[in-house]
Amino acid sequence: MFKSLSKPKKRLADQVYEQLLDAIHQGVILPNDQIVQEKLAEQFEISRTPVREALLRLEQEKIIEVAKRGGFKIRIISERETEEIYRARAAIECYAMRMLAAQSTPALLEQLRHTIQQAENLTEYSVKAYFRANQTIHRAFVVATENRYLLEMFDNTWNRGTSFRLFASIDAEAMAQSLGGHEALVDAIASGQPELAFQAMLEHIDDGLHLQQGEL
Amino acid sequence: MFKSLSKPKKRLADQVYEQLLDAIHQGVILPNDQIVQEKLAEQFEISRTPVREALLRLEQEKIIEVAKRGGFKIRIISERETEEIYRARAAIECYAMRMLAAQSTPALLEQLRHTIQQAENLTEYSVKAYFRANQTIHRAFVVATENRYLLEMFDNTWNRGTSFRLFASIDAEAMAQSLGGHEALVDAIASGQPELAFQAMLEHIDDGLHLQQGEL
DNA sequence: TTTTTGTATACTGTATACAGTATCCGAATT
DNA sequence: AATTCGGATACTGTATACAGTATACAAAAA
Residue-wise pLDDT for A24-58, tens only, equals 998 899 998 999 999 999 999 999 999 999 999 99
Any A CB within 8 A of B150 CB: yes
CATH of domain A79-213: 1.20.120.530
| Chain A residue with minimum CA distance to B150 | A88
- The closest alpha carbon to B198, from A148, A177, A194, belongs to A194
B48 touches strand C (CB under 7 A): yes
Pick the residue of B149, B155, B202 with the most A CBs within 10 A to test the interface with A by mutation: B149
| Nearest by Cα to A52 from B6, B67, B57 | B57
Distance from CA of B136 to the nearest CA of A (A): 20
Q: How far is CA B143 from CA B96, B117, B165, in A?
A: 9, 17, 25
The predicted-structure confidence for B82-137, as pLDDT tens digits, reads as follows 999 999 999 999 999 999 999 999 999 999 999 999 998 888 877 788 888 999 99
Residue B197, chain A, CB below 8 Å: the answer is: no
Looking at residue B167, what is its pLDDT? 65
Nearest-by-CA chain A residue for B92: A91
Residue A34 approaches strand C within 7 Å at CB: yes
Element (H or E) spanning A77, and its range?
A: none
ipTM of the complex: 0.90
CA atom of A8 to C1′ atom of D5, Å:
27
* Gap between the terminal Cα atoms of chain B: 61
Over residues B176-192, mean pLDDT = 91
Q: Is the CB of A8 under 7 A from strand C?
A: no
Question: Which residues 5-24 on chain B approach chain A with CB closer than 8 angstroms?
Answer: 13
pLDDT at B8: 65
Weakest-pLDDT range from A11-15, A192-196, A209-213, B61-65: A209-213
User: What average pLDDT is seen over chain A?
Assistant: 91
What spatial distance separates the first Cα and last Cα of chain A, rounded to whole Å? 61
Chain B: closest CA distance from residue A52 (Å) = 10
Taking the CA atoms of A153, A115, A135 and A216 in sequence, report the sign of the dihedral they define.
positive
> What H or E segment, with its residue span, contains residue A62?
none
Q: State, as a whole number of angstroms, the distance between the CA of A16 and the C1' of D14.
A: 14
pLDDT attached to residue B9:
66
Q: Is the Cβ pair A88, B53 closer than 8 Å? A: no
Cα–Cα distance, A92 to A149 (Å, whole number): 10
What's the CA–C1' distance between B69 and C29, in Å?
A: 28
B199: closest CA among A112, A109, A198, A139?
Answer: A198
Contact B53, A56 (CB under 8 A): yes
Does B149 sit within 8 Å of A85, measured CB to CB? Answer: yes
* pLDDT of A141 strictly over 70: yes
Nearest-Cα residue of chain B relative to residue A153: B153
Q: Which chain A residues are Cβ-neighbours of B88 within 8 angstroms? A: 147, 149-150, 153
Q: How far is CA B98 from the centre of its chain?
A: 21
Q: Which nucleotides of C are covered by protein (CB under 7 A)?
A: 10-17, 20-24
- For residue A49, the model assigns a pLDDT of 97
Chain A closest-CA separation from residue B159 CA (Å) = 13
pLDDT at A216 over 60: no
Among residues B213, B90, B58, the alpha carbon closest in space to that of A150 is found at B90
Name the average pLDDT for chain B: 90
Instruction: Sketch the domain layout of chain A as residue ranges.
Output: 12-74, 79-213
- Overall average pLDDT of the B161-175 stretch: 69
A181 pLDDT more than 70: yes
Angle, vertex CA A139, rays to CA A105 and CA B96, nearest 5: 90
Q: What architecture does CATH give domain B12-74?
A: Orthogonal Bundle (1.10)
Q: Is A147 on the interface with B (CB under 8 A)?
A: yes
Average pLDDT over residues B170-198: 89
C-beta atoms surrounding A122 within 10 Å: 14
Query: Is the pLDDT assigned to residue B153 strictly greater than 70?
Result: yes
pLDDT of residue A139: 97
CB A178 within 8 A of CB A190: no
Q: How far is B85 from chain A, CA to nearest CA, in Å?
A: 6
Phi–psi pair at B78, nearest 5 degrees: -75, 165
Residues of A in contact with B53 (CB under 8 A): 53, 56
Q: Does B96 touch chain A (CB under 8 A)?
A: yes
Domains A12-74 and A79-213 share a fold: no
| Cβ pair B148:A56 closer than 8 A | no
Residue of A nearest to B147 (CA): A84
CB A62 within 8 Å of CB A75: yes
Chain centroid, CA B26 distance in Å: 12
Question: Which of B135, B132, B136 lies closest to B115 in space, CA to CA?
Answer: B136
% of chain A with per-residue pLDDT over 90: 70
Percent of chain B with pLDDT over 70: 93
Please identify among residues 29-48 of chain A the ones whose CB lies closer than 8 Å to any CB of chain B. Answer: none
How many beta-carbon pairs under 8 angstroms link A with B?
71
Domain B79-212 class in CATH:
mainly alpha
Contacts of B30 (CB under 8 A, 6+ apart): B74
Own/partner contacts of B103-108, CB < 8 Å, gap of 24 or more, are B104/B189, B104/B190, B104/B192, B108/B144, B108/B189
User: CA B100: distance to chain centroid?
Assistant: 20
Q: How many CA atoms lie within 13 A of A174 on its CB side?
A: 15
